[in-house]
Amino acid sequence: MKRALAAIALALAVPASAAQAQDRKGPPPTLVVIEHAVKRFVSPTALYSATVISRDDAKLAGEIAGRLTWVAEVGDRIRKGESVAKLDGVFFRQQVIEEQSIIQREQAKFDFHTRQVERLEKLLEENNIARSQVDQERTDRSVAHNNILSAEARLSQAKERLKRASILAPFDGVVSERWLQAGEWADHGDAIVRLVSSDNLEIETHVPAGALKLVTVGTPLIYTDGKTTGTGTVRTFVPIGGDVSRLYELRISVSDPSLSAGNLLRVAVPTALPRETVLVPRDALVLRREGVYVYRINEDSVAERIEVQTGIAEADHIEVIGEIREHDRVVIRGGENLRPGMAVMTKPLSGGP
C-alpha cells in the first residue's frame, strides 16, 4: 500500500516540475525597432499655404502683326531657341527681295557716277569742261551712296521682321496654355502661348510681418505636401505687404525632382526663437485615451512606459516633455503589443543586430 502511494506521488511530481521549469523559461523576447532620442535647438512653427512656381514662366507674344501659320500644342516640350509659333512671312520675304534689288540698282548708279567723276576730273585738269559738271557728278555719286545705305538699313529691318515672324522660346519649357490658333490674326503684342520651365522651380508663400524678424535669406524651411517632406532655403522676400491681406511674399529655393509647377504645399515658418528640445520620431508616440506614452528600452532590454507631453514638431520628429533624455532608446516599431516590464530584442532602424 505504501509503495503504491509513493508511485502515485512521484508520477504527479514530474509534470509539476516540468511546468515550473517552463514558467521560469518564459516567452521569447519581443523584437522591436528602436531609435535614439536627440537633443536639438528647434523653433516653434506655423504652417502656411504655399505653391510651387517656375521662375521661368512667360507669356510669349508676337513683336509684329500677322496671320499665324503654326502654333505649338499645349504640352509640347520646346527647347531654347526653337519656335513656339510662326507668322506668315510672305510679305517680309518680298520686302527683302525688293530692298536687295534697290541696293543693286543704287550700286550701279554709284559705280557709274564714280567713273564719270574720274573722267571729268581729268578733263577739268586740262580746262576742257566747267567745274560745275564735276560737282554735279560728285553730288550724284554721293546721292547714290546714301541711297545704298538707306536700302541696306531697310533690308536689315526686313530681314529682322522675317526672323521675328517665328516666335522663339527664350528657355527650355512646356507649353501650358495657347490663346491663339493657326489661321488667326495676331496683333503686335498679343499673347500667343504660355511657356513654363519645369526645371527652375521655387516655392512661393505669404507670411505675416512678425515672421520676417525670424527668417532671413538662406534660412532653411521645411515644406510638406501631406505625404512627404523636404527642405528648401529662403532665396528672397518682398518686404511690402499686400493692401488687403497684409502678408509678405516669401520665395524658397528647392532642388526636389518630385515637385512640379502648381503643386500645393505647406511651409513651416518659425514663430519664435529656437529653444533646446528633446526629439523622438513621431512613430515612437503611443496614443491612448488616458494619455500619450513612449516605450523606452533600459539597459536590461526591458520596456518602460514613459508618459510624455508633445511640443514642437520638426519634420518626422517631435518634441517630448517628460522623463525621456537624449540618447534614450525609444521603440518606433513593434510597440503595439508591448507592456511595461516585457523583455525585448532591439534592432536599429538602419538595420544591424
Domains along the chain? Answer: 27-41+275-348 (2.40.420.20), 45-55+200-270 (2.40.30.170), 58-88+166-196 (2.40.50.100), 89-164 (1.10.287)
pLDDT band at 144 (very low <50, low <70, confident <90, very high): very high
Give me the chain's average pLDDT, please.
86
Residues 87-107 have a mean pLDDT of 93
Can you give the pLDDT at residue 350? 61
Can you give the pLDDT at residue 237? 86
> Which pLDDT tens digit goes with each residue over 111-122?
999 998 888 888
67-76 burial: b if 16+ Cβ within 10 Å, else e: ebeebbeeee
Can you give the pLDDT at residue 134? 84
pLDDT band at 229 (very low <50, low <70, confident <90, very high): confident
Identify which has the larger pLDDT, 179 or 209. 179
> Which pLDDT tens digit goes with each residue over 243-262?
666 788 999 999 988 888 88
Q: What is the pTM of this model?
A: 0.64
Can you give the pLDDT at residue 25? 53
Can you give the pLDDT at residue 242? 65
Classify the phi-psi angles of 143: left when phi > 0, otherwise alpha if psi is within -120 to 50, otherwise beta: alpha
Would the pLDDT of 20 be above 60? no
Specify the range with the lowest mean pLDDT, choosing from 18-32, 174-188, 209-223. Answer: 18-32
Can you give the pLDDT at residue 13? 44
pLDDT band at 7 (very low <50, low <70, confident <90, very high): very low
- Which of 294, 325, 289 has the alpha carbon at shortest distance from 307? 294
Chain-centroid distance, C-alpha 25? 59
Non-local CB neighbours of 90 within 8 Å, separated by 6+ positions: none
Would the pLDDT of 21 be above 60? no
Can you give the pLDDT at residue 274? 87
- Which of 52, 47, 53 has the alpha carbon at shortest distance from 266? 47
Would the pLDDT of 2 be above 80? no
Integer Rg of the chain from CA = 42
Would the pLDDT of 183 be above 80? yes
Can you give the pLDDT at residue 34? 92
Would the pLDDT of 9 be above 50? no
Specify the range with the lowest mean pLDDT, choosing from 89-93, 146-150, 346-350. Answer: 346-350
Identify which has the larger pLDDT, 35 or 123. 35
Residues 19-41 have a mean pLDDT of 73
pLDDT band at 14 (very low <50, low <70, confident <90, very high): very low
Would the pLDDT of 23 be above 80? no
Can you give the pLDDT at residue 228? 86
- Strand, coil or helix: 116: helix
SS3 of 167-219: EECCCCEEEEEECCCCCCEECCCCEEEEEECCCCEEEEEEECHHHHHCCCCCC
Can you give the pLDDT at residue 346? 86
- Which of 352, 349, 351, 341 has the alpha carbon at shortest distance from 30? 341
Would the pLDDT of 303 be above 60? yes
Q: What gap in Å lies between CA 333 and CA 329, rounded to an integer?
A: 12
Cβ proximity of 117 and 145 under 8 Å: no
